[in-house]
Structure 1
Amino acid sequence: MTEQGTADPERKARAPSARADATKKRILSAAIEQFTLKGLAGARVDEIADAARVNKRMLYAHFGSKEELWLAVLEDAYSRKRNEERLLEVGSLPPERAMALLVAFNLRYVVEHPEFVRILNEENLHQASYIRQSRFVKSLYPPLLELLDQVLLDGVRKEVFREGISPMQLYITIVSLGHFYVANQYTLSTIFDVNLMHYNALAEREAHNIDVVLRYLAK
């Protein structure tokens, strides 16, 4: 216990760090919104700073440049999705259940986080020139592919999956089934005169995606 009138050195050290972390989170949140709405070229640093309730100097102190902020947004987007994916704990489930859960998650995630789709689409317009700089994002996926490989091998051992499935190709297929659906929801809804975001339409699509993947994997 400190004497009255004497500052607690640990508390004093924590306070600036906590404020800095809170400021950084506000900037990142504002950046996600602006980049989602306007893309990398259209988003303005001063609008991001205003939305985060900081000045531009503070923003640059935390992120260095607009491009570095964009990379931080990309890393945050991938990290959030992978963190939720890990919570599924598919490695502890029967192989067919594990695959069904992973397929359903990847559809529902992009439905609930359309900003993820828009951010990835924007980065693809830039031919991955920013994410190419990130070792962090690349580090997120080898563990996932190893886990998928374990589930596939378990399915082969239990004679419910066929052999020779590439974990990478399978994962690309799984994410494509959800990503394309959300990225093209407006054009497809108009063409087929149906609201693809309606609960019933999503349930039908989820069942379809699971059926597609499980039939592909079936022995």
Structure 2
Amino acid sequence: MDEIVRTEQETPAAGGGRQSRTNDPERTMADILKVATAEFADKGLSGARIDEIAALTRTSKRMIYYYFGNKEGLYLAVLEDAYRRIRVVEAQLQLEDLPPAQALRKLVAFTFDYQHEHEEFIRLVMNENMQRGEFLAQSRVIQELNTPVIDAVRQIYERGVSEGVFRPNVDPVDIHLAISSLCFFSVANRHTFGLIFKSQMGSAPDLAKRRDNACEMLLRFVQA
């Protein structure tokens, strides 16, 4: 690795000189993941090009393959990083401090906003569904990352049932599915839906209305 890193530390600078780069593997990997996320989200696994990712990160294919193994390994790392980022923010919502109905509303609103602000996440999930979940199935990390969100939904729901505000016998996974469906569709299908029904899917008033509708529908779904 030291030989490879030393090679990558120097890149051509304007005027024909050499420009020093910091020997920082973690930063290099983070930069590669950031650029690769955009590349895979935009072009999918088959359309993305390692050469393009290397050029945009001022590194080399050799370095990318050293860190991630191959193109598929980089794609899987991008998927894991995308799920990790949304789950890290979710964990900071402090839903346990709120009454059940308010906690559920906050979770739905967060999911709606996050997915609209991170379209690359939606596109990666869409692409992975086109792969029939082939790479997600290989990742124990993603399975583990998604356990806490179901636990959070279950805790909100069970508190609501015990307080008499939510009806019994609703599967927390079904609640999570309903949240994901309402929020995901709003991003994934906004172009076609907006064109067909002449709706301003990206306008601030429309987003606010659809976020409120999503919260209201989920609350009515579980209310006693």
Aligned length: 204
2:134 maps to 129
| 1:93 alignment partner, one of 92, 95, 98 | 98
| 1:150 alignment partner, one of 136, 140, 155 | 155
1:58 aligns with 2:63: yes
User: Which residues of 2 match residues 30-109 of structure 1 at below 5 A?
Assistant: 30-109=35-114
| 2:31 alignment partner, one of 26, 49, 61 | 26
User: Which residues of 2 match residues 145-184 of structure 1 at below 5 A?
Assistant: 145-184=150-189
| 2:207 alignment partner, one of 178, 202, 205 | 202
Partner SS, residue 25 of structure 1 = helix
TM-score (norm 2): 0.88
- In the alignment, structure 2 segments of 5+ residues that lack a partner are 1-20
**Alpha-carbon distance in structure 1 between the residues aligned to 2:63 and 2:204:** 43
User: What is the Cα deviation at residue 188 of structure 1?
Assistant: 1.0
4+ residue runs over 6 A deviation: none
Question: After superposition, what is the alpha-carbon deviation per residue over 1:30-87, rounded to whole angstroms, capped at 9, x for unaligned?
Answer: 1111111111100111111111110111111111100000000000000001111111
Identical columns (%): 39
Question: After superposition, what is the alpha-carbon deviation per residue over 1:133-170, rounded to whole angstroms, capped at 9, x for unaligned?
Answer: 11011001222222221211111121110111101111
- In the alignment, structure 1 segments of 5+ residues that lack a partner are 1-15
Letter in 1 for 2:116: V
Letter in 2 for 1:135: R
**Alpha-carbon distance in structure 1 between the residues aligned to 2:165 and 2:195:** 39
**Alpha-carbon distance in structure 2 between the residues aligned to 1:131 and 1:52:** 25
How big is the alpha-carbon RMSD for the aligned residues of Structure 1 and Structure 2?
Answer: 1.4
1:9 maps to none
1:217 maps to 222
